[in-house]
Amino acid sequence: MSRIAYVNGRYVPHREAAVHVEDRGYQFADGVYEVCEVRAGRLIDERRHMERLQRSLSELRIAMPMSLPALSVVLHEVVRRNGVRDGIVYLQITRGVAKRDHPFPPEGTRPAIVVTASRIDPAKIERFAADGIAVVTVPDNRWDRVDIKSIALLPNILAKQTAREQGAREAWFVDAAGNVTEGSSSNAWIVTSGNQVVTRTTDGTILKGITRTVLLDVLKAHDLTLVERPFTVAEAIGAREAFITSASQSVMPVVRIDGKPVGNGAPGLIATALRADFHSYAEKS
């Protein structure tokens, strides 16, 4: 089945899908995005992802290019046309196409929208989850609006590349006080020796992950105590467990941080249980 992308109102073959050279996303990273997991052909937590999309757009004063119901049809249609059962659907909205100039483009410039879908082999992700992943830490050198899911991701790209070059799957950003903020494309969590589940509060220094939000319900159902507070790299290395959350990986155990084992160096029981239960609490559409 050949891949199809949705670009500004048209479904086009993926290899021909293109945006204008003066798209402000291309020139200025002036746009936002969302990634929804697709599982068994259904979108996971679409409603929450669309809520966050609207917030990101409104913080940047970019208009929503179409109604939410229409957007939902497009997302499902792209998934269907690409025959994706398990994978992700990617949505990007930019401030549109205009002559290159830093201020906002003229009134009436239409935001540009792209939607793609791709398959991810669930067995591959399960293998990572079974083994657990390694993370490395890097200084958090991002701007102070990381609560917006902006397509400006250079620090995240450099951080992820550092991780890959050191044989790790993810990089954790560390703030000036030595506390972990979040991953380059995930939220960061630890489990203490007292079985408290700790993650940073959504105080503007992290992206409020949708997986993070849903996991709070899973924690309640498991009678686990949640503590929203910062934690240091040393505390994470000495923790009983560590894990990350993101739409494409749900709950992923972390077994090494900066080359040092977390707990006994194997995926933790709590992370594994939360992963097993996550989708019972997620919305499917």
3-state DSSP call for residue 78? helix
Distance CA(210)–CA(142), nearest Å, equals 20
Among candidate residues 186, 4, 183, the one with its CA nearest the CA of residue 79: 4
Smallest separation (angstroms) from ligand PLP to the CB of 101: 29
Q: Which stretch binds ligand PLP (CB under 6 A): 104-112, 209-217, 255-263, 267-275?
A: 209-217
CA max distance for the chain:
58
Closest approach of ligand PLP to the CB of residue 191, in Å: 18
Q: Work out how close the CB of 209 gets to ligand PLP at its nearest, in angstroms, rounded to a whole number.
A: 3
Site residue total, ligand PLP (CB under 6 A)? 13
- Cα 253 from Cα 266, distance rounded (Å): 8
Q: Is residue 46 within the footprint of ligand PLP (CB under 6 A)?
A: no
CB of 182 to ligand PLP, least distance (A): 5
Evaluate whether 154 touches 131 at the Cβ level (below 8 Å): no
Answer for which of 212, 240, 256, 275 binds ligand PLP (CB under 6 A) is 212
Q: Which of 149, 160, 260, 284 is catalytic?
A: 149
Alpha-carbon distance values, 191 to 5, 117, 188, 205 (Å)? 40, 34, 11, 21
Q: Is there a contact between 183 and 170 (Cβ–Cβ < 8 Å)? A: yes
For ligand PLP, which is the closer residue by CB, 56 or 272? 56
99 noted as active-site residue: no
- Examine residue 23 and tell whether it contacts ligand PLP (CB under 6 A): no
Q: Is 205 in the site for ligand PLP (CB under 6 A)?
A: no
Neighbours of 9 (CB within 10 A): 10
Q: Which is nearer to ligand PLP, 13 or 139 (CB)?
A: 139
Q: Is 250 in the site for ligand PLP (CB under 6 A)?
A: no
Cα separation, 122 vs 124, whole angstroms: 5
Does 137 bind ligand PLP (CB under 6 A)? Our answer is no
Known catalytic residues?
149
